[in-house]
Amino acid sequence: MSTQPYPLHFKPEFKERVWGGRALEKFGFDVPPGAIGEGWMIADHPNGVSHVTNGAFAGKGLDEIRESVGAEWFGTKGGGSGTGRFPLLIKLLDCNDDLSIQVHPNDHYGKLPKGELGKTEMWYVLDAKPDAKIIYGLKPGVDRAKMASAIEEGRIMDTLQEVSVKAGDTFYIPAGTVHALCAGVLVAEIQQNSDTTYRLYDYDRPGLDGKPRELHIEDSLNVTAYEGSGAARMTTDGAKPGEWLTLASSPYFKTDKGVVRGQWTLSTSEESFVILIVCEGSGSIGWPSGLVDAQAGDCFLLPANLGQYTLDGSMTVLRSLVP
């Protein structure tokens, strides 16, 4: 007998990072000791798998569920990533310190690690300290030669654009965009299911093991989009209750912001699962045979064959699917 579709709620897989902190505790998670930078909320990757907390699949990893339910649950478009795994990776990031200056390759880069994809991603800022900023792209006129010279001469920061951020800002980061989150921001990250990052600069600081972290200068220079990558940013204050505001559209994911005030009836399609990230507030997700509570920090995977569902309460959510 096949399992009836229902919204899957996940227990995050937490990752210690040299730039991490304790901010993910505010969502009520049981965060392990240490500098925890990443919660892999919905993950099906060799470096981390998230496990379901509710319903018939409680205790099972997303990798195991994917193999047992396949395209019926994940959709005709959402059923694969090119590696056979779940196509997206959903994270919450606590940036207690600056992240390394980095860039991601696209799917076609010849030196990708075996079995890996490129990485196009987006950030939605959940919280930010008053003076928080990020690194987002290159200054006009910076080409490969200028970037290589700046790295050689220890002045890479001169080539990068700094942008102030506040809660509700969103940033689309296609492969090839040089970027870095900086201290004092908490973000939701939606990305291709990839763990490939090339570091250009890491502030000459030691990693968790006390040794300098590896840099990938040649790969970084190779994959950077000097003419522009299509990166785009927006503020999302204009989101209206009961309407979706599109934040990012890529070949890999489409992400919208929704404000829930009372009941909002929606539906999945057979083409793709829906991922819901609760950014703030609380409420519930109802479907014909059940109801699950939802609060800030929760991430749900709604199967493509769930059909009609209802969001209720007072909360802000992000909805992501495979276009």
Predicted confidence (pLDDT) at residue 84 exceeds the cutoff of 90: no
The mean predicted confidence, pLDDT, of the chain is 95
Q: Give the pLDDT band (50/70/90) at residue 80.
A: low
What gap in Å lies between CA 229 and CA 215, rounded to an integer? 22
Q: Give the pLDDT band (50/70/90) at residue 78.
A: confident
Q: For a pLDDT cut of 70, what percent of the chain falls above it?
A: 99
Domain with CATH 2.60.120.10 in the chain: 8-235, 244-321
Q: Is 179 annotated as a binding residue?
A: yes
Q: Give the pLDDT band (50/70/90) at residue 1.
A: very low
Predicted confidence (pLDDT) at residue 221 exceeds the cutoff of 80: yes
Say what the pLDDT of residue 3 is: 87
Q: For a pLDDT cut of 90, what percent of the chain falls above it?
A: 90
What mean pLDDT comes out for the span 229-236? Answer: 93
What mean pLDDT comes out for the span 167-184? Answer: 98
What gap in Å lies between CA 316 and CA 137, rounded to an integer? 28
In this predicted model, what pLDDT tens digit does every residue of 40-75 receive, in sequence order? 999 999 999 999 999 999 999 999 999 888 788 999
Q: How far apart are the first and last CA of the chain?
A: 30
Q: Give the pLDDT band (50/70/90) at residue 238.
A: confident
Say what the pLDDT of residue 81 is: 63
Helix, strand, coil percent values for the chain (each to nearest 5): 10, 45, 45
Q: Is 227 annotated as a binding residue?
A: no
Say what the pLDDT of residue 57 is: 97
Cβ(32)–Cβ(14) below 8 Å: yes
Q: Is 51 annotated as a binding residue?
A: no
In this predicted model, what pLDDT tens digit does every residue of 248-293 receive, in sequence order? 999 999 999 999 999 999 999 999 999 999 999 999 999 999 999 9
What gap in Å lies between CA 275 and CA 303, rounded to an integer? 9
Active-site entry in 17, 66, 199, 319? 199
Output the DSSP codes for 208-246. TTSSBPP--HHHHHHH--TT----EEEE-TT--BTSEEE
> Which of 76-80, 102-106, 257-261, 288-292 is predicted with the least confidence, judged by mean pLDDT?
76-80
β pairing state of 244-249 and 290-295? unpaired
Q: CATH number of the domain at 8-235, out of 1.10.3720.10, 2.60.120.430, 2.60.40.10, 2.60.120.10?
A: 2.60.120.10
Q: Give the pLDDT band (50/70/90) at residue 79.
A: confident
Cβ(111)–Cβ(97) below 8 Å: no
User: Which CATH class, in words, describes the domain spanning 244-321?
Assistant: mainly beta
In this predicted model, what pLDDT tens digit does every residue of 129-173 receive, in sequence order? 999 999 999 999 999 999 999 999 999 999 999 999 999 999 999
Whether 199 is a known active-site residue: answer yes
What pTM does this model have? 0.96
